[in-house]
Amino acid sequence: MSKIEEVKAKVEAGKSKLVPGLVQEALDAGIAPAEILQAMVDSMSVVGDKFSAGEIFVPEMLIAAKAMSKGVEVLKPLMAGDSSSSLGTCVIGTVAGDLHDIGKNLVSMMIESTGFEMVDLGVDVSADAFVEAVKNNANVKLVACSGLLTTTMPAMKEAVQTIKAAFPDLKVIVGGAPVTPEYAAEIGADGYAPDAGSASVKAKALVTV
């Protein structure tokens, strides 16, 4: 098994204690940081697909995402100057009135794993706070709004429409249990994702059009 294959297998298995050492070994063997990152992104895609198919559940996915983030920590200093690997900045938050963060954190990890810099605003984020974050951070290409309560759907609509009014060209992606593709389209979002795995794929697709 090659070093890259080992990294992929351990990320998929969620071995967060072993991944940093294996990433370092791969670097020592002369493998490019971007190639190692891509391998980890690929394993998270596999994890995302398994999650979407119901073969694994949130805990396994969180564990794999944590393993990947530990690997990314080793690569970050080496990739800071390589802007080609970055897709830009993504601002993420759970909308006003909603305090759910597990799903949002998972989506944040998954979107980060595809090559975005993340700005996580936490929970109960007002429409204006999303707009302020876009103004105050460089190179924001995407805003991700999460909501898990049917009662906070109007807040999601307000967030999307406020962001779009301020930045018409900025891409906005939405998700959460009550959200449907139809609702996402109706409120003016550019994308909808049913789960974290597809959120990362959709996020990348939206900004690389």
Q: What is the pLDDT of residues 163-175, one digit of tens each?
A: 999 999 999 999 9
Alpha helices per DSSP H over 31-126:
33-52, 58-79, 102-113
Which range, 73-87, 90-104, 109-123, is most confident?
90-104
The CA-atom distances, in angstroms, between 147 and each of 30, 79, 110, 123 are 43, 33, 17, 9
d(CA 191, CA 30) in angstroms, rounded, equals 38
Question: pLDDT at residue 93 above 60?
Answer: yes
Question: pLDDT at residue 62 above 90?
Answer: no
Region 177-186: mean pLDDT is 95
More confident residue, 50 or 131: 131
- Per-residue confidence (pLDDT) for residue 85, from 0 to 100: 56
Instruction: Please tell me the chain's helix, strand, coil percentages from 3-state DSSP, rounded to the nearest 5.
Output: 60, 15, 25
Regarding pTM above 0.75, the answer is no
Of 188, 104, 91, nearest to 143 by C-alpha is 91
- Tell me the per-residue pLDDT of 108-117, one tens digit each, with 9 for 90 and over: 888 887 789 9
Of 103, 118, 90, 91, nearest to 176 by C-alpha is 103
Quickly count: other Cβ atoms within 10 Å of residue 31's Cβ.
17
Report the residue count for the chain: 209
d(CA 68, CA 7) in angstroms, rounded, equals 9
